[in-house]
Amino acid sequence: MQHHKLPIACPSCSGSLHVSQLTCPSCSTQVSGNYPLPVLLRLPADEQSFILQFFLSGGSLKEMASQTGVSYPTMRNRVDDLIEKIKQLTPTE
């Protein structure tokens, strides 16, 4: 089954998109509302997969660095940049 990329930004104004409808795939029940996307889903797909990979490697920067073929400081910088980005997305949390 083809997985479509989840759009996170408005193609018209680049604003953050909200969820307005959810559907149960087995009984087709639909729920409507206005839900903001969780912080992690507001990140681009590559950053989401990076976080998942980081989690799966037990949060080890060294292991991540060796898996991706970059140096430890390069990996640490990437994580630090991502932490900064997530902090900016969640100013009140």
Partner 1 sequence: MKKLLFNPFEKYDGRPILVLGLLATVIGGALGYAFNARFDGVLDMHFVDSANYVEPFTDNVFNIAALFAALYIAGYIINKKTRPIDILGTVMLARLPFYFDTLTNINGYMNEFGKKILEAGPNLQNLDPVDLWLPALLGLLTLPLLIWYIALLYNGFKTATNLKTTQHKWSFALALIAAEILSKITFYLLYS
Q: Give the shortest CB-47-to-partner 1 separation in angstroms.
A: 17
Fill in the per-residue mask, 23 to 62: x = in contact with partner 1 (CB under 8 A), - = not in contact.
Answer: ----------------------------------------
Which CB atom, from 33 or from 69, has the smaller least distance to partner 1? 69
54 vs 79: CA distance, rounded Å: 9
Of the candidates 57, 55, 44, 43, the one whose C-alpha atom is nearest the C-alpha of residue 86 is: 43
25 vs 23: CA distance, rounded Å: 6
Q: Where are the alpha helices (DSSP H) in the chain?
A: 45-56, 61-68, 72-89
Task: Work out which of 53, 60, 71, 90 binds partner 1, going by CB under 8 A.
Answer: 71
Residue ranges that bind partner 1, judged by CB under 8 A: 65, 69-74, 76-77, 80-81
